[in-house]
Structure 1
Amino acid sequence: MQESKNENLKQYNLITYILYLVGFLVGVTGLIAIIMNYVKRDEMRGTWLESHVNWQIKTFWWCLLGYIVGAILTIVLIGYLILFLVLVWQIYRLVVGINALIDNREVGTT
């Protein structure tokens, strides 16, 4: 029973990772993914999948902040560098998260 539940939650996490990636092309899917993360967060507490939902939530909020700061600073040109670095960091975090999820391990741990 628990194994089946974890497998469903794993699939759910994979869907949210994919929504974040699709968000690079269709911005609204990132908003859908963050809502989905908060909806299932309590259900994932105490499982190895909790680290994934927390990883995704932190990635979303830090990237949003980075994109806002970068957008504001584009008027002094440094913002373009910030936007690029945030984009690279976001892609890195999503790839690391997906790889850990596929390997059935927590993300952010060795």
Structure 2
Amino acid sequence: MMQDENTPDFHASPGLSQGQLIHVMYALFAIGVLSAGFLGATAIAAVVMAYLKRGDMVGTVHAGHIDWIIRTFWWGLLWLVISAALALIFVGYVTGLVVYIWLIYRLIKGWLAHFSGETPLPGL
């Protein structure tokens, strides 16, 4: 039986692959961080996507990236809140800059690991 060109192929997986979704999450997170919080909603969207796809990626190399993105977000947010409080005594500006650099480092480290087909190693 020949299939018509307009008939959808139900055997093809719709949407993005898991690897592509990880790229989207890193990209959204990077936009949020590099815009210095101006587009912070994109970082939140990346974390929401990570939580939504976490169960689908259990047991894959991508699971480590999901955890990496989630941990980076929450630790970064915690340290940014602490830095904002410390800004009252002017130390927070320095710690805020350190947190900003750390977030960029984590994004680069995780994304490069993803490009290499590896899971980011724990640590910093």
Task: Provide TM-score, normalisation by structure 2.
Answer: 0.80
- Decide which structure has greater helix share: 1
Instruction: Verify: 1:54 aligned to 2:63, yes or no.
Output: no
> What's the counterpart of residue 21 of structure 2?
12
Provide runs of 4+ in structure 1 moved above 3 Å: none
Residues 62-101 of structure 1: pairs in structure 2 closer than 5 A? 62-101=75-114
What is the root-mean-square deviation in Å for CA atoms of aligned residues? 1.4
Overall identity of the aligned pairs, in %: 35
Q: Give the C-alpha shift of residue 31 in structure 1.
A: 0.8
CA distance in 2, matches of 1:29, 1:70: 21
Task: Provide TM-score, normalisation by structure 1.
Answer: 0.90
Gaps of 5+ in 2: 1-12
User: How many residue pairs are counted as aligned between the two chains?
Assistant: 104
CA distance in 2, matches of 1:106, 1:73: 34
Q: Tell me the amino acid that sits aligned with residue 16 of structure 1.
A: M
CA distance in 1, matches of 2:80, 2:51: 21
In structure 2, the residue corresponding to 1:23 is in which secondary structure? helix
Q: Give the C-alpha shift of residue 107 in structure 1.
A: 1.0
CA distance in 1, matches of 2:121, 2:69: 11
Gaps of 5+ in 1: none
